[in-house]
Amino acid sequence: MSDETPIKIEHLGRVVTLTIDNPPVNALSTRTLAALDTALDAIAASAGPKVVIITGAGAKLFVGGADIRELNAARDVDDGRELTRRGQALFDRIAGFHLPVIAAINGGAYGGGLELALACHLRVCSDGARLGQTEINLGIMPGWGGTQRLPRLVGSSRALALILTGDPVDAAEAYRIGLVDQVAPSAELMEKALLLAERIASRSAPATRSALRAVMDGLEMPLDVALRHEAELFIALMASDDAGEGFQAFFEKRPPHFMDS
């Protein structure tokens, strides 16, 4: 086994890109999951990054899914429970990450690959991408969040159609049903993702973090509790230096200069 990490990290100013490079299909082996978790550790320990982009190496596949050999080896109940725990823990971490995470889906996103994209906060895909929750074709079902995040994104009926048939959809259909937020020509995918990331990174960091928390936390709360959570986050921001700068810039008819924190 090569000592080279399957996750390539690149810092582009305020944006960090994580590229999954695990030939031939960028499978999410336990080694790849661990490397992705370690990369998130490094980002969390740094004050510089404002947005994270996750993509795949090559032009054909974002992530082909979990490592099939490892799945087959984990058919014992205890092994299956451990593999499920690892995947769910990592994807929960991404969904709850303090920075916005964008999936730049450069090709096929199948099984665990789609579940990884679902755990990200935003999704941009190439016009040649195909996305599918394909586990049913192996006689199993999604186990890393697909049965929960997919219906929250596209509705239960569309989610069940994808999960129960295992049939992938193309980029146009994925955009139509709200599975992805933007579609770009393959050659322009990373440019499109970086433009979106830079636009987000230029906003107030405390406001971005709080808005992210309000939305992601609120999805798991009753509405009345979520509204109280939103109110507390809003009130705290109103007293912040960035809010003072934002209002002052509005009155002075100039772009705001938010603190880089």
Sketch out the chain's domains with CATH numbers: 7-201 (3.90.226.10), 205-251 (1.10.12)
- pLDDT bin (cut points 50, 70, 90) of residue 259 is confident
Mean pLDDT rounded to a whole number for the chain: 96
Q: In the chain, pLDDT over 70 holds for what percent of residues?
A: 98
pLDDT tens digits for range 40-88 = 999 999 989 999 999 999 989 999 999 999 999 999 999 999 999 999 9
The set of catalytic residues is 115, 135
- Three-state SS for 143? coil
222 three-class SS: coil
Q: Which of 136, 15, 144, 146 is closest to 84 using CA atoms?
A: 144
Given a cut of 90, is residue 261 above it in pLDDT? no
**Dist CA 153 CA 142 (whole Å):** 15
State the pLDDT at residue 1: 40
Q: Please, is 222 exposed, middle or buried when counting C-beta atoms within 10 Å of its C-beta (0-12, 13-18, 19+)?
A: exposed
CB-based contact 20:55 (threshold 8 Å): yes
What per-residue confidence (pLDDT) applies to 4? 83
Q: Give the predicted TM-score (pTM) of the model.
A: 0.96
Q: Put the strands of the sheet holding 61-63 in their side by side order.
A: 61-63, 108-110, 130-132, 169-170
pLDDT over threshold 90, residue 260: no
Residues above pLDDT 90, as percent of the chain? 97
